[in-house]
């Protein structure tokens, strides 16, 4: 089924999954098992519009905006944020805020 996924959608998903993984490695406290699906979906929704023509900074800002909104909804804040993006493979760097 992945071969049917448009490239923009696949790129957004790859970046979102990498953001989630990097975020969770540095975030404090436990997360509910449904966190991954919900947060990855929100990251995809934020990142996807920026993928076709946006700069890496646009994508980073979109991802960080989704993380900000997520933390506010969860009653927390101040977790790690995306600081670098490699568009070629979707890898990201994060650091504590």
Residue 88 has pLDDT above 70, yes or no: yes
For residues 26 and 11, what is the distance between their CA atoms, to the nearest angstrom? 23
Helix axis angle for 7-26 and 56-74, nearest 10°, is 50
> pLDDT value at position 26?
86
Residue 34 pLDDT: 78
Quick: pLDDT tens for 5-50. Answer: 699 999 999 999 999 999 988 876 556 667 889 999 999 999 999 9
The pLDDT score that the predictor gives to residue 22 is 93
Residues with Cβ within 8 Å of residue 50, at least 6 apart in sequence: 58, 59, 62
Nearest Cα neighbor of 12 from 60, 47, 64, 54 is: 47
pLDDT attached to residue 9: 95
Binned at pLDDT 50, 70 and 90, residue 64 comes out as very high
Q: Give the C-alpha separation, 51 to 1, whole Å.
A: 21
Structure confidence at residue 74 as a pLDDT band (50, 70, 90): confident
pLDDT of res. 1: 44
Please give the average per-residue pLDDT across 74-79, as a whole number: 81
């Amino acid at each position: 089924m992945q071969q049917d996924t448009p490239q923009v959608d696949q790129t957004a998903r790859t970046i979102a999954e990498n953001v989630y993984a990097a975020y969770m490695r540095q975030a404090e406290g436990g997360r509910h098992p449904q966190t991954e699906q919900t947060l990855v979906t929100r990251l995809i929704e934020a990142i996807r519009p920026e993928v076709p023509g946006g700069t890496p900074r646009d994508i980073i800002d979109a991802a960080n905006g989704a993380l900000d909104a997520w933390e506010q909804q969860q009653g927390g804040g101040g977790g790690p944020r995306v600081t670098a993006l490699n568009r070629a493979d979707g890898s990201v760097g994060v650091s504590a805020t």
